[in-house]
């Protein structure tokens, strides 16, 4: 199936070529020419099997059509589990991959696709991160032949463990600590992409959720988990998504569009309220990002808003399928504490945003909350809130021993490309 740009819909190409491009040449984001359907009739024996069936239509006729099964098996080789902590409320544990955050799904899928496509020359992945993306991308692409990675992260705005995950690699992974905010980093990436000569010279591509390759496995796990929930309880769950750049939330809406048994999608934001404001006022305004305890969601101008506006032509349509709620830092702390006292489960600050939003808007309705990261990644926040220590999983504690490599730069493309 071909994909098209959100701006000029006659700008079309095969899916795997669009994954290499990252952003469309007119500045738009890629979307499928047909949203697809049929998720309701998938019978799958495993998540990997479900994913293959859900994604196959999009790779039909693509150069990688016959590689898809291998790509999925290599990329998504860790569990997706649905943890029912109440009869009709579940946490979708998306943190069992190598970097303990849901971004492993998209990043690893992308790495497998791009390493199949990099035959013709060296690709450079340029990625801005508010925390978890960079770590997942670095881990997924480390030592992949034919691919260099440059990671931009905002100085002082990621947790110590996240910083380690961004800087411990070396080899084909370069890390840049930027004097600025996440939005500054994201803007640098956008500016680099709009510069045709830079883009060609370095064969730049993106691993941010502007890349459609990131969204595909996310659409699949939302479809898969809603099906499991429906089979077990007989009701269609609402999906509660801790939202930053709207990649994961868009994946959920896409799964609903394709027929997965999903009631509504609740886009839960922290104090970066641009999405929630849009639901309230009907007007989208990009805001400067503010720092919160759920830092991977500190996004003032969510890049997937453009996709949302394509999927839903107006706010009334959007509101039939989804809702939004913003959650403050003090509510995040209360929620971390309550979840631990009530269920004995430490949750990360992002998951806590989802939990509080669900309580506010959904009450006793059935729902699945995306648990987007392992609580131990944010132990500086979680441990004082629950008054107890949490163990780092061995795959994270091992990182702390490693040496860091990074460049300090100001938020400009000149400073960045000087280091190449
Ligand atoms: C990136 C991230 C989010 C936000 O996801 P988006 O797809 O950007 O909306 C939420 N939680 C965690 C832990 C993340 O890393």
pLDDT tens-digit profile of 316-370?
Answer: 999 999 999 999 999 999 999 999 999 999 999 999 999 999 999 999 999 999 9
Please report the atom of ligand 1 found closest to the CA of residue 247.
Answer: 7
Q: Tell me, yes or no, whether 134 lies in a domain.
A: no
Q: Cα of 74 to ligand 1 centre, how many Å? A: 23
Name which of 205, 181, 182, 179 is nearest 192 in CA terms: 205
pLDDT classification of 312: cutoffs 50, 70, 90:
very high
Atom 1 of ligand 1: nearest residue by CA position: 296
Please report the atom of ligand 1 found closest to the CA of residue 209.
Answer: 7
Q: Tell me, yes or no, whether 197 lies in a domain.
A: no
SS3 240: strand
Instruction: Provide residues with CB under 6 Å of ligand 1.
Output: 101, 103, 131-132, 209, 242-249, 296-297, 350, 372-373
Residues 292, 297, 303, 305, Cα dihedral to 10°: -90
Q: Tell me, yes or no, whether 10 lies in a domain.
A: no
Q: What is the mean pLDDT of the chain?
A: 95
Do 109 and 75 contact (CB within 8 A), yes or no? yes
Checking if the pLDDT of 400 tops 90, the result is no
Q: What is the mean pLDDT of residues 237-254?
A: 97
Specify the CATH number for the domain of residue 269. 3.40.50.1100
Checking if the pLDDT of 208 tops 90, the result is no
Atom 8 of ligand 1: nearest residue by CA position: 245
Residue 317, C-beta contacts closer than 8 angstroms, at least 6 positions apart: none
Atom 14 of ligand 1: nearest residue by CA position: 296
pLDDT classification of 120: cutoffs 50, 70, 90:
low
d(CA 400, CA 266) in angstroms, rounded, equals 35
Q: Tell me, yes or no, whether 247 lies in a domain.
A: yes
Checking if the pLDDT of 190 tops 70, the result is yes
Q: Tell me, yes or no, whether 107 lies in a domain.
A: no
Domain range enclosing 81 = 69-102+213-391
pLDDT given at position 182: 84
Q: What is the mean pLDDT of residues 93-114?
A: 96
Please report the atom of ligand 1 found closest to the CA of residue 251.
Answer: 7
Q: Tell me, yes or no, whether 19 lies in a domain.
A: no
| pTM for this model (two decimals) | 0.94
Checking if the pLDDT of 119 tops 80, the result is no
Q: Tell me, yes or no, whether 233 lies in a domain.
A: yes
pLDDT given at position 132: 80
Q: Tell me, yes or no, whether 283 lies in a domain.
A: yes
pLDDT given at position 206: 83
Atom 4 of ligand 1: nearest residue by CA position: 244
- C-alpha dist (Å) from residue 1 to 28, 35, 36: 18, 10, 10
Q: Which of 102, 294, 307 to mutate to test the pocket of ligand 1 (most atoms within 8 A of CB)?
A: 102
Number of structural domains found in the chain: 1
Q: What is the mean pLDDT of residues 17-22?
A: 93
Checking if the pLDDT of 228 tops 70, the result is yes
């Amino acid at each position: 199936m071909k994909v098209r740009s959100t701006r000029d819909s006659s700008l079309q190409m095969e899916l795997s070529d669009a994954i290499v491009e990252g952003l469309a040449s007119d500045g738009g984001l890629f979307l499928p020419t047909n949203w697809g359907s049929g998720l309701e009739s998938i019978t799958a024996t495993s998540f990997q099997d479900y994913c293959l069936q859900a994604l196959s239509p999009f790779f039909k006729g693509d150069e990688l059509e016959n590689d898809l099964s291998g790509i999925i098996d290599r990329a998504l080789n860790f569990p997706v589990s649905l943890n029912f902590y109440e009869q009709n409320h579940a946490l979708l544990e998306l943190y069992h991959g190598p970097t303990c955050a849901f971004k492993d799904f998209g990043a690893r899928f992308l790495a497998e696709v791009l390493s199949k496509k990099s035959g013709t020359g060296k690709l450079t992945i340029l990625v801005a991160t508010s925390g978890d993306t960079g770590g997942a991308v670095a881990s997924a692409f480390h030592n992949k032949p034919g691919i260099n990675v440059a990671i931009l992260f905002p100085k002082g705005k990621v947790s110590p463990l996240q910083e380690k995950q961004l800087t411990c690699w070396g080899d084909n992974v370069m890390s840049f600590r930027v004097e600025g905010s996440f939005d500054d980093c994201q803007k640098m990436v956008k500016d680099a992409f709009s510069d045709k000569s830079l883009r060609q010279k370095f064969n730049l591509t993106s691993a941010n959720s502007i890349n459609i390759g990131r969204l595909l496995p996310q659409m699949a796990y939302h479809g898969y988990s809603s099906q499991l929930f429906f089979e077990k309880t007989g009701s269609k769950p609402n999906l509660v998504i801790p939202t930053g750049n709207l990649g994961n939330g868009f994946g959920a809406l896409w799964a609903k569009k394709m027929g997965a048994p999903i009631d509504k999608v609740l886009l839960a934001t922290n104090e970066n309220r641009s999405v929630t404001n849009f639901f309230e006022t009907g007007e989208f305004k990009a805001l400067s990002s503010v720092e919160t305890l759920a830092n991977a969601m500190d996004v003032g101008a969510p890049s997937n808003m453009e996709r949302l506006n394509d999927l839903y032509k107006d706010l009334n349509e959007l509101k039939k399928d989804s809702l939004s709620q913003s959650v403050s830092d003090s509510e995040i702390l209360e929620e971390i504490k309550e979840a631990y006292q009530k269920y004995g489960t430490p949750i990360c600050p992002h998951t806590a945003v989802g939990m509080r939003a669900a309580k506010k808007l959904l009450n006793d309705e059935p729902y699945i909350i995306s648990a987007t990261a392992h609580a131990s990644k944010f132990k500086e926040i979680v441990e004082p809130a629950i008054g107890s220590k949490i163990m780092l999983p061995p795959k994270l504690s091992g990182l702390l021993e490693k040496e860091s490599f990074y460049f300090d730069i100001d938020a400009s493309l000149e400073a960045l490309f000087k280091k190449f």
